[in-house]
Structure 1
Amino acid sequence: MNVKRGSTTFLKVIIFLFGIAVLALCIWLPEIAVRDARVHPDTAYFLIPFLVCAYGFCIAFSVALYHAYKLLTYIEKNNAFSELSLKSLKIIKKCAFTVIFLILLGIVSLRVLAQVTDSDDAAGPTSLCLMGILATSILAAIVNALQKPLKNAQI
């Protein structure tokens, strides 16, 4: 498999930029959450579950980015059909399912928060969460489709 080095380098740079964005989110997330808790003290008890879900999401996403980077390295070295590539794809798929689970927890938290505070319906954030689940599900399906030729090539 002859892959141009430029395309994998471009994808590695994109992955690196996503990693920097996730790191920035992890750094500023507590400050944002504390500021929101000060503004809305009646819902401050949702701070800890929100941070747990948000950091779990960031960790799972970062692990998936790391393994995508490793997969691109294997492709550059013409080891795309190796056991290491298959392991990376399995880990990426597990991270995708973890992200879906954490987004579902976020939806449940939003619904509980909307019921407890008798505030407006949380339809907007819920629809954004569902779009995130759709995008992550598509990624998991693509990874699953990529795993099948790798398994067949190793037999």
Structure 2
Amino acid sequence: MKRGTTIFLKAIVILIGLTVLTLCIFLLPWLANDTAKMFPEYAYLKYPVLIGLYVTAIPFFIALYQAFRLLNRIDNNTAFSEFSVKALNNIKYDAMIISFIYIIGAVFLLIVNALHPGIALIGLTIILASAVIAVFAEVLQRLLRNAIDMKSENDLTV
């Protein structure tokens, strides 16, 4: 793989991370305050929703960090290693955690009768995207594990 491809992917990972960090620091609190002013009957949900979003950001940033480290391994031609398998495993579990948190949030908002259809659609999109990432990471992890096993078998026979 050419080095330019991994540099592009690293730049995208950094850009995604900075975008989400900016959203967490500046936009989410402003939106929460603005929404609480527009709909005072739902103002009590401001902090639980913000906490849920911030808790979701933690596994998201961990997964981004693991992806960045995996891209570094690809640059160094050491992608076929146990580290890569563990990184994909961490990405898989982080994606599953994000899906789980959003499912819990959707159930909570349903219970308090505050789940707007637009919010439900965004939440469902995030749940499905995280599930797809988890399945994709699992498939890559199995392929990488098989490739590492085949490589070690070939090293033993030579």
Q: TM-score, normalised by structure 1?
A: 0.87
Alignment match, 1:91: 90
| Alignment partner of 1:142 out of 133, 136, 139 | 136
Instruction: Tell me the CA shift for residue 152 of structure 1.
Output: 2.3
Mark the runs of 5 or more structure 1 residues left unpaired by the alignment: 116-120
Q: Which residue is equivalent to 1:57?
A: 56
Gaps of 5+ in 2: 150-158
Q: Percent same amino acid among aligned pairs?
A: 41
Instruction: Supply the distance in 2 between the matched residues of 1:135 and 1:94 (Cα, whole angstroms).
Output: 14
Aligned residues: 148
TM-score, L = length of structure 2 = 0.85
Q: Secondary structure at the match of 1:131?
A: helix
Q: Separation in 2 of the partners of 1:6 and 1:141?
A: 27
Bigger mean CA offset, 106-115 vs 72-81: 106-115
Runs of 4+ in 1 over 6 A off after TM superposition: none
Corresponding position of 2:21: 23
TM-fit CA distance, 1:32 = 2.1
Separation in 1 of the partners of 2:88 and 2:45? Answer: 34
CA distance in 2, matches of 1:22, 1:153: 34
Alignment of 1:113-152 (within 5 A): 113-114=112-113, 122-152=116-146
Q: Is the 8 A contact 1:68 1:88 kept in 2?
A: yes
Question: Over aligned residue pairs, what C-alpha RMSD do you find?
Answer: 1.7
User: CA 1:26 to 1:128, structure 2 compared with 1: closer, same or farther past 3 Å?
Assistant: closer
